[in-house]
Amino acid sequence: MVEFKKYSLNIKGRLVEIDRPLVMGIVNATPDSFYDSSRVLAPEAIAARVSDMIEQGADIIDIGACSTRPGAEVATEQQEMERLNIAVDAARQAAGDNVLISIDTYRASVARHCVEQLGADIINDISGGDLDHDMNTTVAKLQVPYIVMHMRGTPATMQQLTHYDDVAAEVLEELARKIDTLHQLGVNDVIADPGFGFAKNLEQNYRLLSCLEAFHALEVPLLVGVSRKSMIQKVLNCTANEALNGTTVVNTIAMMKGAHIIRVHDVKAAVEARTLVSFTRNQ
């Protein structure tokens, strides 16, 4: 087990310490996300989901309104905005200011709207700026923490772009270049996500997991998002609905390797795993 490296995030002038792994609860304000139990559209359902996550110990609520699973119909910018207007308002009413709100979007205009008009705290971009070249300068102006994920191509093409000579080294290098660009633009708080399941095959996903310690060389917090994904389903021969136990195992491995944020559908299980990992680390 590696030593946990502490960081802090500047959230609108308030320092948030990452002195233990943070649990990020997923709220999908979409009709077609890959895990159907995570889909919530009505404001009452969103508020109830967020309230449950907070009660279970979530530190961050990550709200997305444009599905990025392969084959999903891409929401228009207007559809994404309308869904987020409802979802973020409902989440903020349920969460108050005690929990951070992250927006899962690759569109710079959506990011700007959610931060400036809806009070979002963090931007989580699956493309790391590749799908909207205005994103880097936008987050620099907004001065909010930015999650830069590794992906190649688009959600529709990414699974044809899985050739790597050394997946860990190449993902690390590509993230390092993006982080350097962001720092040069004045983005101080960057979080790196290796992008499990995005332009990686099964073996490559587990190679990344086994080499996760190497990503601490980026000197930024690390986010791991594996919740109920096919990399777990395929190994265990189970469905997304049956993948909670596998998800908890992989999240535990990630936290033992020093992950700073765990993005999950199931907050209670992740919080319990964190408690046990932290207790073991402190012995």
Neighbouring CB atoms inside 10 A of 249's CB total 14
Res. 280: pLDDT tops 70: yes
Domains detected in the chain = 20-281 (3.20.20.20)
Q: What confidence category does residue 35 fall into, taking pLDDT thresholds of 50, 70 and 90?
A: very low
61 by DSSP, 3-state: which? strand
Helices marked H in the chain — which ranges? 43-56, 77-95, 108-116, 135-142, 167-185, 202-210, 230-236, 244-256, 267-281
Q: Which of 164, 177, 258, 263 is nearest to 211 (CA)?
A: 258
Average model confidence (pLDDT) across the chain: 93
**Greater pLDDT, 200 or 31:** 200
d(CA 184, CA 65): 30
Q: Which of 104, 212, 121, 88 is nearest to 155 (CA)?
A: 104
The residues annotated as belonging to the active site are 229, 263
d(CA 111, CA 184): 20
Tens-place pLDDT, residues 8-32: 999 999 999 999 999 999 998 877 5
